[in-house]
Amino acid sequence: MTTAAILEILAEAKKLALQYRTLTGKPLGITGEVAEYEAARILGLTLTPARQAGYDAIEVRNGREFQLQIKGRCVLDGSKPGQRMGSIDIKKEFDAVLLVLLDGNFEATAIYEASREAVIDTLTKPGSKSRNERGALGVSKFKSIGHVRWQRGAR
């Protein structure tokens, strides 16, 4: 299947997810898949096959392959602060984590990257049960340990 065909399917899935959220007030659960394809499209990454343990994409930097775990978060207007990302399993192989922020239409607004070292240091600090046991970081915490890779409207 070509990238164009996948993007066409995702465009339809985004419409369905919006309709579902409007009718039920609940998310449909496509954020992760949309985030992976948006990151690949915007940053030129190569996505790995489904269920690849530890990382979702590969990027060649200075002749070396970087294994990237991709997380997505849909941030709606009026969302409460303190939203969390999906779980990060630090026992698995990866070089960095990308966080793709999506708006209410499932369009990417920003992509942040944090190194494996920064993620592990933050997740293993004493204090937070959700952070330590479930590997869940808050979006604002991830932004603080990472850097912007891409931002909508930025040149």
User: pLDDT digit of tens for each residue in the chain (155 aa)?
Assistant: 677 788 889 889 999 999 999 999 898 999 999 999 999 999 999 999 887 889 999 999 999 999 999 999 998 887 777 789 989 989 999 999 999 999 999 999 999 999 999 999 999 888 765 566 677 899 999 999 999 999 999 87
Q: Is residue 15 one of the residues assigned to a domain?
A: no
Q: Is residue 4 one of the residues assigned to a domain?
A: no
Cα distances (Å, whole numbers) of residue 81 to 10, 25, 121, 122: 28, 19, 23, 19
- Total of domains in the chain: 1
What residue numbers bound the domain in which 126 lies? 31-151
What pTM was estimated for this model as a whole?
0.91
Q: Is residue 8 one of the residues assigned to a domain?
A: no
Rounded Cα–Cα distance for residues 121 and 144 (Å): 13
